[in-house]
Amino acid sequence: MAPAIEFSHVAKDFGGRRVLADLSFAVARGELVTILGSSGSGKTTTLKLVNGLLTPDGGTVRVGGKPLADQDLVELRRHIGYVVQQTGLFPHLTVGENIAVVPRLLGWPKEKIQARVADLLALVRLDPACADRAPRQLSGGQQQRVGVARALAANPPYVLFDEPFGALDALTRQELQGEVRRIHRSLAGKTFLFVTHDINEALYLGQRVLVMKDGAIEQFAAPAELVAHPATPFVADLLATVQQNRALWGWQDD
Ligand X SMILES: Nc1ncnc2c1ncn2[C@@H]1O[C@H](COP(=O)(O)OP(=O)(O)OP(=O)(O)O)[C@@H](O)[C@H]1O
**Site for ligand X, rule CB under 6 A:** 14-15, 19, 37, 39-45, 197
Instruction: Using DSSP, state whether 251 is helix, strand or coil.
Output: helix
Q: Which is nearer to ligand X, 198 or 225 (CB)?
A: 198
Compute the radius of gyration of the chain from its Cα atoms: 19
| Nearer Cβ to ligand X (51/142) | 51
Nearer to ligand X, 56 or 64 (CB): 56
Q: Tell me whether residue 41 or residue 98 sits nearer to ligand X (CB atom).
A: 41
CB 210, min distance to ligand X, A: 12
Confirm or reject binding of residue 41 to Mg ion (CB under 5 A). Answer: no
DSSP assignment letter at 203:
H
Which of 41, 44, 46, 51 is the binder for Mg ion (CB under 5 A)? 44
Q: Which among 73, 44, 72, 60 has a CA at the least distance from the CA of 3? A: 60
Cβ atoms 36, 199 nearer than 8 A: yes
The least CB distance from residue 43 to ligand X, in Å, is: 3
- 184 touches which of Mg ion, ligand X, none (CB within 5 to 8 A by kind)? none
Q: Closest separation between CB of residue 37 and ligand X, Å?
A: 5
3-state secondary structure string, 36-91?
EECCCCCHHHHHHHHCCCCCCCEEEEEECCEEHHHCCHHHHHCCEEEEECCCCCCC
Binding footprint of Mg ion on the chain (CB under 5 A): 44
